[in-house]
């Protein structure tokens, strides 16, 4: 999930940067931009992310899945710096570190999700 989301965002960003600046009402340039290969790949990966996210929500609680998926912030920052040559400020790195610490706290907590098979055997 994290990889699909992060790589999808990077592909989308790369594709939109290569098309140049666009205005919302400028359909003459917006339509071709949406159908560029990088934007298309980004959208496809983000659709796969949404499917994986939905499946994850059928297995675990939102309070577990959402923080776990936030690890994508770390991967997006790293890919943004390496692939897109973005400058990540110390403030952003600090925010990413805080998010990572929060994810670590959630991951170390007790598992609240009980599957139907566990509920029957535990009762």
Query: What per-residue confidence (pLDDT) applies to 89?
Result: 93
Query: What per-residue confidence (pLDDT) applies to 82?
Result: 93
∠ at Cα 11 (70, 80), nearest 5°?
A: 60
**Domain boundaries along the sequence of the chain:** 2-113
pLDDT greater than 90 at residue 94: yes
3-state helix, strand, coil in the chain (%, to 5): 75, 0, 25
The model carries a pTM of 0.74
Those residues with Cβ within 8 angstroms of residue 36's Cβ, 6 or more apart along the chain or in another chain: 15, 18, 19
Query: What per-residue confidence (pLDDT) applies to 80?
Result: 92
Give the pLDDT confidence of 23-41 residue by residue, as tens digits. 777 777 777 777 889 989 9
pLDDT greater than 90 at residue 104: no
90-107 vs 62-69: helix axis angle to the nearest 10? 150
């Amino acid at each position: 999930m994290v990889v699909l989301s992060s790589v999808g965002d990077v592909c989308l960003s790369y594709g939109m940067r290569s098309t140049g600046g666009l205005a919302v009402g400028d359909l003459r340039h917006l339509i071709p931009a949406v159908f560029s290969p990088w934007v298309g790949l980004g959208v496809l990966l983000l659709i796969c992310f949404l499917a994986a996210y939905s499946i994850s929500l059928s297995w675990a609680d939102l309070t577990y899945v959402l923080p776990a998926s936030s690890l994508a912030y770390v991967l997006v920052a790293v890919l943004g710096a390496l692939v897109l040559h973005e400058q990540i400020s110390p403030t952003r790195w600090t925010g990413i570190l805080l998010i990572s610490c929060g994810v670590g706290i959630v991951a170390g907590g007790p598992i609240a999700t009980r599957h139907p098979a566990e509920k029957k055997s535990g009762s």
